[in-house]
Structure 1
Amino acid sequence: MKKKKSARWPQALGSGLAGALVLTAIHETARRLTPDAPRMDVLGMRGLRKILDQADAPQPAPDTLFNLTMAGDILSNGLYYSLVGRGKRAWRRGAVLGLAAGIGGVLLPGPLGLGEGPSNRTRQTQLMTVAWYVLGGLAAAGASRLWSGARKARR
């Protein structure tokens, strides 16, 4: 019997969240350890400030801005990585989605008016940006495969 599509959403969202948490943990750890680490938090805070400015909304205090940015990063990356889905091709989808996000993280901030330094400062920064998004995608794929295996074992 074929499962309903709605039964797939919890797995996709949970796996996406796992990928986003791995990505955020890597970024937050590395930024404290190496000066060449990508600073996606800085890009996120710049983006949020820009949106609030255009909406004539008050600017939050630095700590609040950081916390809002982290929550937004986890939510948006979690939704993005939920596209990894499930099945045999989850690993490939995770790698491709991560690669696309990493390349976008290097190429898009400048044209979006967020500055290039946080993700494009050095060749190492660029490579770390791409690699870490790929790791996030692979973490989402791994979580999806674990979830699938656990569901099969319970049957």
Structure 2
Amino acid sequence: MNATKNMAAGLAGAIVLNLLHEGAKKFYAKAPRVDRVGEEAISKSLKSINIDPPTGKTLFGITLATDLLSNAAFYSMVGSGKEENILWRGAGFGLAAGVGALTLTKPLGLNDEPVNKSVQTQILTVTWYLIGGLAAAVVARGISDKPKFQKLVNSLASF
């Protein structure tokens, strides 16, 4: 059950994070554009192995799916360890991911402007990853505290 709980919690954190990213970019010009960083990373990776990268909605869809999967895998680690520390772990993982989003783009050869264009953008980037980590922690704790929910998750996992 632990692995299933952790995966469900990680997916919840990733969904919350992506909803924040996708929703805010439509309404706020200084919103972080992690999607642009992801699209650049996918395009450069494919070009490095002589594959023409997709463009437009196809590239966006691949980027979104990749982002959800990678963030879900990362946030799934929040549920490991002592239950009483889970919120602190969620905050720690979220802060680490947010700071990483700000500081790793350039060393990875990517344009960091989409996440570093202003102080507000930087604050939102870190805050949203923090919220994703906390969402993963809350879901992991909720699953652990509810035997009926555990049964549901177990039955879904058996498919």
Pick the aligned partner of 1:150 from 143, 146, 154: 146
Match in the other structure for 1:3 = none
Are the counterparts in 1 of residues 105 and 111 from structure 2 also a CA contact under 8 Å?
A: yes
Describe how 1:1-155 pairs up with structure 2 within 5 A: 7-85=1-79, 87-151=83-147
Question: Structure 1: any 5+ residue segments left out of the alignment?
Answer: 1-6
RMSD across aligned positions (CA): 1.5
User: What is the DSSP-based 3-state SS (H/G/I as helix, E as strand, rest coil) of the residue aligned with 2:38?
Assistant: helix
Following TM superposition, by how much is the alpha carbon of 1:112 offset from its aligned partner in structure 2, in angstroms?
1.3
Per-residue deviation, residues 85-126 of structure 1 (Å, max 9, x unmatched): 151111010000000000011111122111121000000000
Per-residue deviation, residues 14-57 of structure 1 (Å, max 9, x unmatched): 00000000000000000011010000000000000010000101
Following TM superposition, by how much is the alpha carbon of 1:154 offset from its aligned partner in structure 2, in angstroms?
7.4
Following TM superposition, by how much is the alpha carbon of 1:61 offset from its aligned partner in structure 2, in angstroms?
2.7
Cα separation, partners in 2 of 1:142 and 1:69, compared to 1, 3 Å: same
62-71 or 107-116: bigger deviation: 107-116
Number of equivalent positions: 149
Separation (CA, whole Å) in 1 of partners of 2:24 and 2:116: 15
Cα separation, partners in 2 of 1:92 and 1:56, compared to 1, 3 Å: same
- The AA in structure 2 aligned to 1:74 is L
Cα separation, partners in 2 of 1:40 and 1:154, compared to 1, 3 Å: closer
Separation (CA, whole Å) in 1 of partners of 2:147 and 2:7: 16
TM-score (norm 1): 0.92
Separation (CA, whole Å) in 2 of partners of 1:26 and 1:145: 22
Cα separation, partners in 2 of 1:144 and 1:117, compared to 1, 3 Å: same
